[in-house]
Amino acid sequence: MNDLLKTALRITLFVLAASILIWAAYPPLRTITAGLTMGAVASGINALLLQRRVDMIGRTIAEQGVQRTSLGFMSRLATVLLAVMFALKFPQHLDIVSTIIGCFLVPFFILLVGITKRQHKP
């Protein structure tokens, strides 16, 4: 796993911890923080699936020279759809908007980490 993904997942874990603490300490925000947690978990799973897929494609091309097709995008899309469907099914427990926002946390953190690490290089 590369440094960008490790750092982004670490930041996401801090956001998850803060979200759970807010969920426990401030009951009026429970649906929002639960939705954010659900989306962030789906986003982390998607990032790990993408990393695994990129490693697998690299190994396959290095060994065989031919890329095989698979359902990589569809599995990541299904993960996000599952999180959103849970939010739609249980609106009393999960906020749909915060779930969708949470689904984009890890890519956003990867972008921020990449920009900040680029600025520190000479």
Q: Which of 20, 42, 43, 45 is nearest to 33 (CA)?
A: 20
Provide φ and ψ at 78, rounded to 5°.
Answer: -65, -35
Burial (CB < 10 A; 0-12, 13-18, 19+), residue 14, is exposed
Asked whether 101 and 41 are in contact (CB, 8 A), the reply is no
22-78 pLDDT, tens digit each = 999 999 999 999 999 999 999 999 999 888 888 888 888 788 766 666 667 888 889
* Backbone Cα Rg of the chain: 17
**pLDDT at residue 28, rounded to an integer:** 92
DSSP 26: -
Q: Which residues contact 104 (CB under 8 A, 6 or more apart)?
A: 39, 43
**pLDDT at residue 71, rounded to an integer:** 67
Judge whether residue 110 has pLDDT over 80. Answer: yes
Q: Which of 43, 38, 52 is nearest to 9 (CA)?
A: 43
